[in-house]
Amino acid sequence: MTCPPAVSVPLLTAGDLDAVTILVRTLKWPHRREDVDLFMRLGRGRIVRDDADGRMMGVALWWTFGDQLARLGLVMIDPQSQGRGIGRRLVEQILTDSAGRTMVLLATEAGLPLYEKLGFLTIGGNRQIQGTYSEAPSEDPVIRPATSQDLPAILALDLTASGADRVDLLQALTDIGRTFVQVNQGRITGYAIERPFGRGSTVGPIVAESEQDAIRLFRAAARPGFTRVDCPSDAPDFAAHLQAGGLVAIEGESPVMVRGSWRPPENHQRIFALSSHALG
């Protein structure tokens, strides 16, 4: 069944925040209103609106990182409107809006067939690990709270690890979260950000040179309570540490998918935890 003609696909605006938050709750996603607001302020998007009654039927957001890269996320369709081609219409419109950029996303099981049809290729995987973390923050002689003077070094390190210009994202996260840096011989070699999110908090991004360093940064940043980490599937030691601390790996892997020529860099530093499933 195709998307009915009596719909429009306008740009997402700040005035849509309440409607998007209601849709999040309808789908039982964990995002708080504050989380949705942050994602909307950092990016842009489209909604599908029923022209007959004005009801929001679906939404999709996307974010730019520099001149060549974009990321797609928070693609949601109201349960009453699913199976009508609305998801495809939204994603196709976003791809038109972002023409000329490589698009990256983390696919859900439901969205994977659509993304494959639209030319996305799987280049990796990511696991959501969450639960009640039982350990207290640990002190580490090479890890300390970050200061405002550390931000340029954090941005440079993140650019090396991600291959993306994430200045706006990291400035926003450091404003609302707690940031820690790892310092070796006077040089910042890793960082982690812990912030409120969903049912508790999330730790991410984490950028480090090794899984052991990622574990050290996580132990310094994480606090007891409900904690979520989105980490790559090829970091088994890091994932094992999270689970030993009381977190549980959610069943299934989210494919990392790309449409375009961009690929993540292969550098000494790498990302061991995402800022979020949507934002990367």
Set out the domains of the chain in order of their start, with CATH numbers: 7-100 (3.40.630.30), 128-252+262-273 (3.40.630.90)
pLDDT band at residue 164 under the 50/70/90 scheme: very high
Return the sign of the alpha-carbon dihedral for residues 115, 120, 122, 127. Answer: negative
pLDDT value at residue 51? 87
Percent of the chain predicted with pLDDT > 90: 86
Dump pLDDT digits (tens) for 89-139.
999 999 999 999 999 999 988 899 999 999 999 999 999 999 999 888 889
Contact 84, 2 (CB under 8 A): yes
User: What does the block give as tokens for 135?
Assistant: 């350990």
Percent of the chain predicted with pLDDT > 70: 98
CA distances from 36 to 23, 119, 255 (A): 11, 28, 23
The stretch 52-68 carries a mean pLDDT of 93
pLDDT band at residue 5 under the 50/70/90 scheme: low
pLDDT value at residue 86? 92
pLDDT band at residue 210 under the 50/70/90 scheme: very high
Q: What is the mean pLDDT of the chain?
A: 95
Angle between helical axes of 167-176 and 151-162 (0-180°, round to 10): 130
Contact 198, 192 (CB under 8 A): no
Dump pLDDT digits (tens) for 215-239.
999 999 999 999 999 999 999 999 9
User: What does the block give as tokens for 180?
Assistant: 């820690």
The stretch 27-46 carries a mean pLDDT of 97
Spatial distance between the Cα atoms of 213 and 205, rounded to a whole number of angstroms: 13
pLDDT value at residue 6? 85
Contact 233, 166 (CB under 8 A): no
Residue 183 has pLDDT above 80, yes or no: yes
Spatial distance between the Cα atoms of 203 and 221, rounded to a whole number of angstroms: 7
pLDDT value at residue 109? 87
